[in-house]
Amino acid sequence: MTVYPNPSDSEVFIGYNEKSESGNPNSSVTLDNPIQIEIYDLTGALLRTKQFAKSVSIPSIDISDLKKATYLLRIVGKEVDEVHQIVKE
């Protein structure tokens, strides 16, 4: 999975590193299983969660109300459990 743009001041998107049926990565990717996005501060406090069910669009999460800092973004699903560092400008 890819998280972009990073750093960001308003919203981050979650892209898929697998290819869609058309052969292009991140192009109308369909999720067969839901994923959950969690944002933590560096002390480990959970600040936000957002769930995405079967989707044909690229998931995103709003971070505009967070303070300028570094956060951990966790992506959890049936076939994925990843943590990415994001920077809020």
Q: What is the pLDDT of residues 51-68, one digit of tens each?
A: 987 665 788 999 999 999
User: Is 11 domain-assigned?
Assistant: no
User: Is 13 domain-assigned?
Assistant: no
Tell me how many domains the chain contains: 1
Question: What DSSP assignment string belongs to 20-65?
Answer: -TTS-BTSS---SS-EEEEEE-TT--EEEEEEE-S-SS--EEE-TT
User: Is 75 domain-assigned?
Assistant: yes
Please check the confidence at residue 20 and state whether its pLDDT lies above 50.
Answer: no
Percent share of the chain, pLDDT over 70: 80
- Look at 60 and 27; give whichever has higher pLDDT: 60
* 75: CATH: 2.60.40.3080
User: Is 20 domain-assigned?
Assistant: no
Instruction: Give the domain extent around 44.
Output: 28-88
User: Is 22 domain-assigned?
Assistant: no
pTM exceeds 0.85, yes or no: no
User: Is 12 domain-assigned?
Assistant: no
- What average pLDDT does this structure show over 61-82? 94
Average pLDDT, the chain: 84
Question: Residue 29: its pLDDT value, please?
Answer: 38
Least confident of 9-13, 28-32, 35-39, 61-65: 28-32
User: Is 7 domain-assigned?
Assistant: no
User: Is 65 domain-assigned?
Assistant: yes
